Chains A and B, each alone.
Chain A
């Protein structure tokens, strides 16, 4: 998802018997659905895992502004331009809420950003793919935001209070994002042959990367089990992925475009769609920094940050001058 493959630092799920009394009390509160708050005692591994997960999520929002931002200046109508600007701006807001949630755990935003820029932490693989046509903006809203929402709604119930509250706000704001994407796709599919081809091409390029967003298969991840016990991951990768496929295929049918997967078919016995094998090599390549846009995305973020340094310094210097003069305004 936006936080794919979050390391928990645990080889296996901690059993109650192995825990200290503090740790046991902590786990029992989580089991009883009592939210953990910033000042509460928490195991170091829980804190570290959360910081990692929340910051991956935050970085994904901020880096995610770039592929869509790529089309704001070329949006085909003024209304589309306004909607896309508002959407990309929302993503900035979501990054901000998530950084703030991470900051409650005792890390600074600057440190988190420095870690991103140094390549120490990941963001979602999906944002390392290019937006080549206007239809990509539709496909991102429809598929990428659709996948994200599927993951984020359960996170509104996660055990860490500040994270859960940020997710509630994000989910509320994000409800229009997926619809605007689908709306773009509908317009294209009802349009000229060229437009429909553009929509199909976008689906071809975004479908598999969207499925990869849910992360590796459950069988490959012990981290998921620990995160589940801590209630910072509420549904499994495969479970979410299947839900996403089941929900999305009929939406593509309505548009009259097809998933680029010859193995995709309804399985009446399972009551789910079967789908083809995901190219996990590609997923790991992208996570390792070798996706089509990894270097470019990071370089763009670093450049914006570095070019903003003098602005941030100046604002601080001015605030200090004012405070010294005693004319800080309320």
Chain B
């Protein structure tokens, strides 16, 4: 792929550097959340749910791989050589990871896993639907495919929020607590920085700010049906330009990566 093809898609000079960052952010969200969901395999509350949750993890992992492969191609355009999906996933340290903090948080109980999924899935779906109209054809193509999968994720997690919210007293308390605890990590889903602005102007990226209102409307509708209350806090982690998307993470990411990257780090250069 030549840089020329991309320039004709309407990207401004320097846009490839921004595109690399942007695509990493998309890919890292997927890979890290898939890694968290992988921890559930074999430990779900009932076999049917174990299988279903693993399907979500597999979808995200597949999407993450597509984004990271594309990031490597963009990097090659920029720097002459680009990293493979595995070099990007297994050989970057936390500070080079670009996922939002929400997805790296520990699973907690089933309510916390589902609350995290609910917040994320609905933002993810809105983002992918917008990106399906991206001026960058690869971004548009990957997003369109991923949006179909995430549509189902979003239905499922909303369903669980409702079932647990309007279930027993215990499930309701657990779900409310999970929603409240995770709420401060939702701001980052809609924050924008210079990377976003360059690409939004070029028609490549979606304006995350604009997704907040429709997301909130969905969250409010689902929580109402679930007889749960919308968390009240206004403080948001990482929404100030120093969050996961800029490489600033929680303490949890380091542990996640230590586990995930173990083999590649312990046996440098080995092929698997």
Contact = CB atoms under 8 A, between A and B. Distances in A.
A111 B264 CA distance: 43
Given A77-B86, A313-B168, 13 more contacts: A65-B41, A72-B41, A73-B39, A78-B64, A82-B65, A89-B58, A187-B271, A188-B272, A192-B270, A195-B270, A300-B43, A311-B49, A318-B166
Interface of B: 31, 34-35, 38-39, 41-51, 54-55, 57-58, 61-62, 64-65, 68, 85-86, 89-90, 109-110, 162-164, 166-168, 170-171, 174, 259-260, 262-264, 267, 269-272
A311 B86 CA distance: 36
Interface string A282-311: 000000000000000000100010011111
Given A82-B62, A86-B58, A308 B168 contact: no
Contact of B271 (A73, A78, A191): A191
B27 to A, nearest CB: 10
B92 to A, nearest CB: 13
Interface of A: 62, 65-66, 69, 72-82, 85-86, 88-89, 92-93, 95-96, 99, 134, 184, 187-188, 191-192, 194-195, 300, 304, 307-315, 317-318, 321
A78 B269 CA distance: 16
Contacts of A321: 166
B2 to A, nearest CB: 27
Nearest to B272: A76
A95 B166 contact: no
* B interface secondary structure, majority: helix
Contacts of A195: 267, 270
A191 B260 CA distance: 21
Given A76-B264, A314-B164, A304 B170 contact: no
Contact of A96 (B48, B85, B86): B48
29 contacts: A65-B41, A69-B42, A73-B38, A73-B39, A78-B65, A78-B85, A78-B86, A78-B89, A79-B65, A82-B58, A82-B65, A85-B61, A86-B54, A86-B58, A89-B55, A92-B41, A92-B42, A96-B47, A99-B47, A134-B272, A184-B272, A188-B272, A304-B43, A307-B110, A308-B45, A311-B45, A313-B171, A318-B164, A318-B167
Contacts of B263: 74-76, 134
B184 to A, nearest CB: 25
